[in-house]
Amino acid sequence: MSAIRETADQVATLGEKYKYGFVTDIEMEVTPKGLNEDVVRLISGKKNEPEWMLEWRLGAFRRWKEMTEPSWARVHYPKIDYQNSSYYAAPKANPKLESLDEVDPKLLETYAKLGIPLHEQKLLAGVAVDAVFDSVSVATTFKKKLGEAGVIFCPISEAIREHPELVKKYLGSVVPVSDNFFATLNSAVFSDGSFVYVPKGVRCPMELSTYFRINASETGQFERTLIIAEEGAYVSYLEGCTAPMRDENQLHAAVVELVALDGAEIKYSTVQNWYPGNEEGVGGIFNFVTKRGDCRGRDSKISWTQVETGSAITWKYPSCILRGDNSVGEFYSIAIANNYQQADTGTKMIHLGRNTRSRIVSKGISAGHAQNTYRGLVSVHPKAENARNHTQCDSLLIGKSCGAHTVPYIESRNPSARIEHEATTSKIAEDQLFYCTSRGINQEEAVALIVNGFCKEVLQQLPMEFAVEAQKLVGISLEGSVG
Amino acid sequence: MLEIKDLHVSVGGKEILKGLNLSIGAGEVHAIMGPNGSGKSTLSYTLAGRVGYDVTGGSIIYKGEDLTALPTDARAAKGIFLAMQYPVEIPGVTTINFFKTALNSQRRARGESDLDAVSVLRLVRGKAAALKVPEEMLKRALNVGFSGGEKKRLEILQMALFEPSLAILDETDSGLDIDALKLVADGVNALRAPDRAMLVITHYQRLLNYIVPDRVHVLSAGRIIKDGGKELAHELEAKGYEQIIKDAA
Ligand SMILES: Nc1ncnc2c1ncn2[C@@H]1O[C@H](COP(=O)(O)OP(=O)(O)OP(=O)(O)O)[C@@H](O)[C@H]1O
Ligand SMILES: [Mg+2]
């Protein structure tokens, strides 16, 4: 049964505005505010990291001190005081648990509120969950089944200790330490994140999902994710997040690296619902993320799907480096910006190999006073014979005070390349709303229905359980946008 | 069932309905005929509660309740249905999903429980077969790429599905081929019931051969200028609007 069909039910059950606005009352261990070499050493020490990892972090930190924050994105925010933030937080009882029964009930309660049914539903759904609560992973399920298949799925802090040869080989190989201001900061102070390794010829037996939560006030969150698919391997990874309601702006600067070797395929899906700030634009998460996939092998494929409804500011360009011949990169995106949210997001498709293909489908929805920018680069290098790109970039405006901007950059240095770009901008028509309401559908549900229809191509790319959640989010994030 | 008194409606600051009176009893079918631009669709949108159709005077009493302050979706839940002259396309939303959403919205507003996808599908299938709406159409995006006649048939299918108390059909017959016209008329006639009223807007007396009205009204320049039985439609066909309007003046 199509998940799209369930839209109505899903959306209708949602009443509250931002229902994930709560703070779990668990004792936190937080480093003092500020950033210097001692803080980097402290983070590394907390993780019992080997010396080489500490050196790597310190190298990044020294570079970061020389860098300046980028200002080219179409987003505006007060200057971030990097010395007024704390860079590490962990629940105090740092448990090593065999089963969920041992998990702090307060944590489980939080997950329940978030609708993350660690206990039963995920088990039933066959999803392994590496739940990252703030910075430390506290529960990992399905390890055994994955282990039998030879798949490694663990917190990256564990991978650094247990699989140093893999981490050394691939960490920073897609997003170099000095790639950009936020990625370099992340390299110095990353707290935790996920590590996935799928060996040659293995099709990962389940969807992998991690739920990230930001729960400590004024603590930057620096996730680090590394996914490696060996020759002929396949993996689908789901990332989803919600954050408690907070007044302070919280910085989030994650780095995600994907490596696909010959004939491998990685599908990476995100539903992002961090606190966007209130209706007046106060508070909310700053989300500055570097996500990049390297189609290193021939015939490999990397597919990004994202549903971005949260954060006060989003700065995010999941990209594909199409290095291997015949490799394929895909980017499917829904970006919703309401009230005073600012989103500057898009993708980069870098065609290096021959017969490489990329496809971009971007659906931007703006409401309230929001500004939504699609920024995309398609670059074809001289050796990329027969490169193909198709970009479809659609914007939907709700109301009069919002804005949609499309900034496509195209660089072609091979005459055989074929690059197609289509862009549309539309408004939710009054006659569509009238038609829906005349059939008994209330205004907000009608908006959600129409917007979900507009986003259908992207929603269809998501795994089932995420599609349902994403549809709900579309409804929630646009509440009050018409009327 | 419906009591409209001295109704004045403005659209975009311009008065379109200028003191319209109309009374429809339960179980009755009334027809409204009138030249282009006389205000027929304006009346139907006003009854459905479309935003921008400002009631500047008079009253609309439906089942004893004044409708004027009630939002569109609440009117639908109370059993008012408008089959539109120009049904609207909604890309990406499948027809069956739309039906389910609408049906359950109405049910919820009335305090009834939701129907699940399977029950909705079963319900829709039965009604769709009678109107010869192919199942394949239900899986397509609502009205997107549908022919004019298909859109109209889909409107009647929704009427059959929602079982309204007051159905307003705004030129449902235009764009229908002869066979479809009969199908639609059969569909409408099947819904005729002692507790249901219908208002049929049409330009052609042909439709009224199939859906035989209890009363016929002639609308001109925002007012009902003549009422009669079903024979009035024949008279209109023979004389034309101009003559009838002159006679009434
Ligand atoms: N937004 C508007 N601003 C000004 N005039 C309007 C507006 N909308 C409709 N009108 C006018 O109101 C009048 C009545 O229109 P309406 O659609 O009700 O006519 P109708 O009787 O349904 O005609 P038809 O037989 O062609 O369907 C027309 O003259 C139309 O131009
Ligand atoms: Mg009309």
Least reliable range by pLDDT among A29-33, A427-431, B190-194: A29-33
Residue with tokens 């709303």: A433
> Are A7 and B87 a contacting pair at CB < 8 A?
no
**Taking the CB of residue B85, how many other CB atoms lie within 10 A of it?**
18
A15 touches chain B (CB under 8 A): no
> In the predicted model, is pLDDT for residue A19 greater than 60?
no
Q: Which residues touch B78 (CB under 8 Å, ≥6 apart)? A: B62, B63, B65, B70, B165
Least reliable range by pLDDT among A10-19, A27-36, B4-13: A10-19
Tell me what the mean pLDDT of segment A357-369 comes to: 93
Q: Sketch the domain layout of chain B as residue ranges.
A: 2-89+164-248
Q: Which residues touch B211 (CB under 8 Å, ≥6 apart)? A: B29, B31, B185, B188, B189, B198, B200
Is B39 near ligand 1, meaning CB less than 6 Å away? yes
> What pLDDT, on the 0 to 100 scale, is given for residue A247?
47
Nearest ligand to the CA of B12 is 1
Residues of B in contact with A430 (CB under 8 A): 51-52
C-alpha A392/C-alpha B243 separation (Å) is 57
> Are B114 and A9 a contacting pair at CB < 8 A?
yes
> What pLDDT, on the 0 to 100 scale, is given for residue A221?
77
C-alpha A119/C-alpha A141 separation (Å) is 10
> What pLDDT, on the 0 to 100 scale, is given for residue A111?
55
Beta strands in A110-207 (DSSP E): 128-133, 136-140, 152-155, 194-198
> Are B73 and A453 a contacting pair at CB < 8 A?
no
Contact, A20 vs A273, CB < 8 A? Answer: yes
> Are A435 and B84 a contacting pair at CB < 8 A?
yes
* DSSP H or E segment with residue A349: strand A348-351
Q: What is the pLDDT of residues A296-305, one digit of tens each?
A: 999 999 999 9
Q: Among A185-194, A305-314, A341-350, B18-27, which range has the highest average pLDDT?
A: B18-27
Q: How far is A429 from chain B (nearest CA, A)?
A: 10
Per-residue pLDDT band for A18 (boundaries 50, 70, 90) equals: very low
> In the predicted model, is pLDDT for residue A91 greater than 60?
no
C-alpha B97/C-alpha A429 separation (Å) is 20
Is B44 near ligand 1, meaning CB less than 6 Å away? no
Instruction: Label residues A183-215 b or e (16+ Cβ within 10 Å = b).
Output: bbbbbbbbbbbbbbbbbeebebebbbbbbbbbb
Tell me what the mean pLDDT of segment A213-223 comes to: 58
> What pLDDT, on the 0 to 100 scale, is given for residue A258?
98
Contact, A252 vs A221, CB < 8 A? Answer: yes
A424 touches chain B (CB under 8 A): no
> What pLDDT, on the 0 to 100 scale, is given for residue B105?
96
Contact, A372 vs A337, CB < 8 A? Answer: yes
> 3-class SS at B104?
helix
Residue with tokens 């669709």: B41
Q: What count of residues does chain B have?
A: 249
Q: What is the pLDDT of residues A255-279, one digit of tens each?
A: 999 999 999 999 999 887 777 777 7
**Taking the CB of residue A320, how many other CB atoms lie within 10 A of it?**
30
> What pLDDT, on the 0 to 100 scale, is given for residue A274?
76
Contact, A380 vs A411, CB < 8 A? Answer: yes
Is B14 near ligand 1, meaning CB less than 6 Å away? yes
Give the chain B residue whose CA is nearest to the CA of A8: B101
> In the predicted model, is pLDDT for residue A320 greater than 70?
yes
Contact, A458 vs A470, CB < 8 A? Answer: no
**B85 alpha carbon – ligand 1 mean position (Å):** 12
**Taking the CB of residue A367, how many other CB atoms lie within 10 A of it?**
26
Is B9 near ligand 1, meaning CB less than 6 Å away? no
Q: What is the pLDDT of residues B11-43, one digit of tens each?
A: 999 999 999 999 999 999 999 999 999 999 999
Residue nearest ligand 1's atom 24 by CA: B36
> In the predicted model, is pLDDT for residue A248 greater than 50?
yes
Per-residue pLDDT band for A136 (boundaries 50, 70, 90) equals: very low
> Are B117 and A1 a contacting pair at CB < 8 A?
yes
Contact, B84 vs B33, CB < 8 A? Answer: no
B101 touches chain A (CB under 8 A): yes
Beta strands in A368-460 (DSSP E): 371-380, 388-398, 403-412, 418-427
C-alpha B67/C-alpha B3 separation (Å) is 10
Spatial CA neighbour of A475 closest among A392, A398, A403, A373? A398
Least reliable range by pLDDT among A44-53, A240-249, B164-173: A240-249
> What pLDDT, on the 0 to 100 scale, is given for residue A313?
80
Residue with tokens 């971030």: A80
Least reliable range by pLDDT among A169-173, A238-242, A321-325: A238-242
Alpha carbon A227 to its chain's center = 14
> Are A5 and B100 a contacting pair at CB < 8 A?
yes
> What pLDDT, on the 0 to 100 scale, is given for residue A220?
55
Q: Which atom of ligand 1 is nearest to the CA of B219?
A: 21
> In the predicted model, is pLDDT for residue A454 greater than 80?
yes
Tell me what the mean pLDDT of segment A212-232 comes to: 74
* Tokens coding B147: 């022919």
A361 touches chain B (CB under 8 A): no
> Are A12 and B51 a contacting pair at CB < 8 A?
no
Homologous superfamily, domain B2-89+164-248 = P-loop containing nucleotide triphosphate hydrolases (3.40.50.300)
Bigger pLDDT: B245 vs B65? B65
* DSSP H or E segment with residue A473: helix A464-477
> What pLDDT, on the 0 to 100 scale, is given for residue A13?
34
Per-residue pLDDT band for A472 (boundaries 50, 70, 90) equals: confident
Residues of A in contact with B84 (CB under 8 A): 435, 438
Residues of B in contact with A456 (CB under 8 A): 91-93
> In the predicted model, is pLDDT for residue A288 greater than 70?
yes
Q: What is the pLDDT of residues A349-361, one digit of tens each?
A: 999 999 999 999 9
B167 touches chain A (CB under 8 A): no
B104 touches chain A (CB under 8 A): yes
C-alpha B81/C-alpha B135 separation (Å) is 23
- B240 burial type by CB count under 10 A (0-12 exposed, 13-18 middle, 19+ buried): exposed
Phi, psi of A80 (to 5 degrees): -85, 130
Nearest ligand to the CA of B50 is 1
* Tokens coding A469: 């959640």
Is B246 near ligand 1, meaning CB less than 6 Å away? no
Q: What is the pLDDT of residues B165-211, one digit of tens each?
A: 999 999 999 888 898 899 889 989 999 999 999 999 998 888 999 99
* Tokens coding A413: 């240095």
> What pLDDT, on the 0 to 100 scale, is given for residue A20?
54
Q: What is the pLDDT of residues B225-234, one digit of tens each?
A: 999 999 999 9
Residue with tokens 């569909």: B187
> What pLDDT, on the 0 to 100 scale, is given for residue A128?
55
> In the predicted model, is pLDDT for residue A119 greater than 50?
no
Contact, A189 vs A57, CB < 8 A? Answer: yes
Q: What is the pLDDT of residues B98-154, one digit of tens each?
A: 999 999 999 999 999 999 988 999 999 999 998 889 999 999 999 999 999 999 999
Give the chain A residue whose CA is nearest to the CA of B139: A5
Per-residue pLDDT band for A32 (boundaries 50, 70, 90) equals: confident
Q: How far is A136 from chain B (nearest CA, A)?
A: 41
Q: How far is B215 from chain A (nearest CA, A)?
A: 26
**B222 alpha carbon – ligand 1 mean position (Å):** 10
Q: What is the pLDDT of residues B43-90, one digit of tens each?
A: 999 999 999 999 999 999 999 999 999 999 999 999 999 999 999 999
Tell me what the mean pLDDT of segment A380-392 comes to: 97
Residues of B in contact with A3 (CB under 8 A): none
Torsion (CA) A459, A465, A468, A472 in degrees, nearest 10: -110
> What pLDDT, on the 0 to 100 scale, is given for residue A132?
53
**A8 alpha carbon – ligand 1 mean position (Å):** 33
> What pLDDT, on the 0 to 100 scale, is given for residue A246?
54
